[in-house]
Amino acid sequence: MTEFYGYRRPDGRVGIRNYVLILPTSVCASDVANIIANQVDGAVSLHNQVGCSQVVSDQEMTLDFEAGFAANPNVYATVLVSLGCEGCQLDLVEERIKQRTNKPVVGVSIQEARGTLKAVEIGVRYAKQFAAEASMLQKEKFPITELLLATECGGSDPTSGIAANNVIGALSDRLVDEGATTILSETPEFIGGEHLLAARAVTPEVGQRVLDIVHRYEETFWRAGEDIRSGNPTPGNKAGGITTLEEKSLGCIHKGGTRPVQQVYDYAKQIPTSQKGLVIMDTPGNDPSSMVGMAAGGAQVCVFSTGRGSALGNPIMPVIKITGNADTWDKMEDNIDFDASRYITGTHTIEQLRDELYNMVIETCNGKQTKSEALGINEIAVMRTCNYA
Amino acid sequence: MVNGIFIDPKDVVVTLSGPVKPGDTVVYNDGGVQKEVVAKDEIGIFHKMAVKPVEKGGRVIKYGELIGIASADITPGEHVHTHNVEEPERK
């Protein structure tokens, strides 16, 4: 069985990175969190655009994202930074984190600390202590069954459906067959193919959940007077060779391979380590927010197909980008890790590319930086259904 | 050189990696075996060409799944698109 080097966490999960996460609980604390992270080697932060002035259902998703990031096994420990009066209060976030993990977490409130400068000092002292502890950890070997892989596609073009997503689907099948776990995401992209995915579910209940999340997603648009199903495939899709809605959808969901759908998870909910096989997470088609949901679910690494050439990454989950477009590979090799256009030109089979990508995933687990990691691309977004209150 | 992308053994179409004219040969890889079909139509890049016959009313398969129903008899080498494929009925 394939093994990879990882960090054993006290909650039983296995990380492939060893970050101290400086997590702003709301937009109002994001700059302070970033200042703290910039001061400490081994710390990472992000720009949190939510966390206050949210309706209950949106705040719940934010709390799930925040707790999920702290619990993600690539994180050694978390320093929460709050303003003090926001919706996502320190104790609320801390409680949610403790429901998911027993890893270390501390918090600092800017208002309670008497301002930005004092909060930065407190936060830096916490973070440098955690960073020193984290640096003492030794990597150990773990079986591939400990891997939870996220899959994503964005900046798609016709090559995504016929090359890159096929390679990712084949990779997903191989990992599932070896006992690992893979996540298929992006609910709106199931539309037209949801009945095919539902038919692959292990039970009628899981199949119904697949249909339900698509329906629920559409409903949020109907409430705003919008319809995401109409006009699909678009005239542009048809001119590009897409004939039916099923074909368009299959191009996207093919990155989930062909294995049975074991379970459906709501956005940013924790996927238990006992869960194996292919699962679905209800996420937006928007790439940064979809990847955030899967990272919060516990995914250690993501494989991301992009025809046009996405520059995205993620703060805590390494993102391996793969293109089926030879021009994009030629132009954007600085951003993209894997060239799947070799399938289109016929020099390589899907099986050859699948195995090459599999090896790249293992190398990435073992510590090799992805292109977006090397460039420090950490932008995120979080799913929401309503405007700010 | 391979210019047709054949994704699943059950598929009846290939996706073309470059445009073809009637009489051009389309080469594709079927599980490690190179196969050829002569194009009957002018077909654009990333459009589909039949490699297996489908009768009117028959299932058009790509990605190993049903993507549509043939609205006319389709023979190998023909362009497969909205003129000869309908959206399948949905449950």
Nearest to A240 among B1, B46, B82 (CB): B46
In a domain, A380, yes or no: no
Judged against a pLDDT cut of 90, whether residue A331 lies above it is answered with yes
Q: Are A178 and A315 contained in the same domain? A: yes
Phi, psi of A256, deg, nearest 5: -85, 10
Contact B91/A at CB under 8 A: yes
| β-bridge partners, A113 | none
Test B63 with A251 for CB contact under 8 angstroms: yes
Q: Are A255 and A205 contained in the same domain? A: yes
In a domain, A11, yes or no: no
Q: Tell me the per-residue pLDDT of A175-214, one tens digit each, with 9 for 90 and over.
A: 999 999 999 999 999 988 899 899 999 999 999 999 999 9
Judged against a pLDDT cut of 70, whether residue B90 lies above it is answered with no
Q: Are A43 and A114 contained in the same domain? A: yes
pLDDT value, residue A52 = 97
The whole-angstrom separation of Cα B57 and Cα B86 is 9
| β-bridge partners, B48 | B15, B80
Contact B11, B30 (CB under 8 A): no
User: Do you know the residue count of chain B?
Assistant: 91
For chain A, how far is it from start to end, CA to CA, in angstroms? 51
Q: Exposed, middle or buried: residue A334 (CB in 10 Å: 0-12, 13-18, 19+)?
A: exposed
In a domain, A9, yes or no: no
In a domain, A10, yes or no: no
pLDDT value, residue A234 = 82
What are the CA-CA distances from residue A24 to residues A118, A251, A296, A317 (Å)? 16, 37, 15, 17
In a domain, A269, yes or no: yes
Interface test with B, best of A156, A159, A162 (most B CBs within 10 A): A162
| CATH number of the structural domain spanning residue B61 | 2.30.130.110
Nearest to A158 among B32, B46, B90 (CB): B46
A346 to chain B: which residues are within 8 Å by CB?
1-3, 27, 29
Q: Are A355 and A230 contained in the same domain? A: yes
A251 to chain B: which residues are within 8 Å by CB?
63
The whole-angstrom separation of Cα A385 and Cα A277 is 29
Q: Domain count of chain B?
A: 1
pLDDT value, residue B70 = 98
Q: Are A124 and A152 contained in the same domain? A: no
pLDDT value, residue B91 = 55
In a domain, B36, yes or no: yes
Residue B28's domain comprises: 4-86
Q: Domain count of chain A?
A: 2
In a domain, A348, yes or no: yes
Phi, psi of A148, deg, nearest 5: -120, 110
**DSSP assignments along A25-53, one per residue:** SSGGGHHHHHHHHHHSTTEEE-----SSS
For chain B, how far is it from start to end, CA to CA, in angstroms? 41
B32 to chain A: which residues are within 8 Å by CB?
349
B7 to chain A: which residues are within 8 Å by CB?
162, 166
In a domain, B91, yes or no: no
Q: Are A125 and A269 contained in the same domain? A: no
Longest CA–CA separation in chain B, Å:
41
Residue A37's domain comprises: 19-135
Degrees to nearest 5, angle at CA A306 with A68 and A159? 140
Contact B80/A at CB under 8 A: yes
Q: Are A180 and A296 contained in the same domain? A: yes
Test B48 with A246 for CB contact under 8 angstroms: no
Model-wide pTM > 0.90: yes
B90 to chain A: which residues are within 8 Å by CB?
195
Q: Exposed, middle or buried: residue B23 (CB in 10 Å: 0-12, 13-18, 19+)?
A: exposed
In a domain, A122, yes or no: yes
Q: For residues A291-312, b (16+ Cβ closer than 10 Å) or e, as one string? A: bbbbbbbbbbbbbbbbbebbbb
In a domain, A2, yes or no: no
pLDDT value, residue A19 = 98
Of the two residues A347 and A288, the one the predictor is more confident about is A288
The first and second tokens of residue A367, run together, are 């510590």
**DSSP assignments along A110-151, one per residue:** TTTTTSHHHHHHHHHHHHHHHHHHHHTPPPEEEEGGG-EEEE
Q: Residue B86 contacts by C-beta under 8 Å, 6 or more apart in sequence? A: A244, B68, B69, B70, B71
Q: Are A125 and A148 contained in the same domain? A: no
Domain boundary among A108, A135, A162: A135
Least Cα separation, residue A185 to chain B (angstroms): 18
pLDDT value, residue A156 = 84
Taking residues A279-303, report their average pLDDT: 97
The whole-angstrom separation of Cα B26 and Cα B51 is 9
Judged against a pLDDT cut of 70, whether residue A238 lies above it is answered with yes
Least Cα separation, residue A220 to chain B (angstroms): 22
Q: Are A89 and A203 contained in the same domain? A: no
Q: Tell me the per-residue pLDDT of A130-175, one tens digit each, with 9 for 90 and over.
A: 999 999 999 999 999 999 999 999 888 889 998 999 999 999 999 9
What is the value of ipTM here, to two decimals? Answer: 0.96
Domain boundary among A135, A167, A199: A135
Alpha helices (H) in chain A, listed in sequence order: 30-39, 56-71, 90-100, 116-135, 158-159, 165-177, 194-199, 204-223, 235-239, 245-253, 287-297, 326-331, 341-344, 350-365, 371-375
The whole-angstrom separation of Cα A5 and Cα A125 is 29
Test A241 with B46 for CB contact under 8 angstroms: yes
Q: Are A65 and A166 contained in the same domain? A: no
Judged against a pLDDT cut of 70, whether residue A32 lies above it is answered with yes
| CATH number of the structural domain spanning residue A121 | 3.40.50
Phi, psi of A126, deg, nearest 5: -60, -50
Domain boundary among A135, A155, A172: A135
Q: Are A118 and A201 contained in the same domain? A: no
Q: Residue A330 contacts by C-beta under 8 Å, 6 or more apart in sequence? A: none
Q: Are A327 and A311 contained in the same domain? A: yes
pLDDT value, residue B66 = 92
Of the two residues A67 and A193, the one the predictor is more confident about is A67
Residues in chain A whose Cβ is within 8 Å of chain B? 158-159, 162-163, 166, 193, 195-196, 238, 240-241, 243-247, 250-251, 254, 258, 343-346, 349
Query: Mean pLDDT in chain A?
Result: 96
Test A241 with B65 for CB contact under 8 angstroms: no
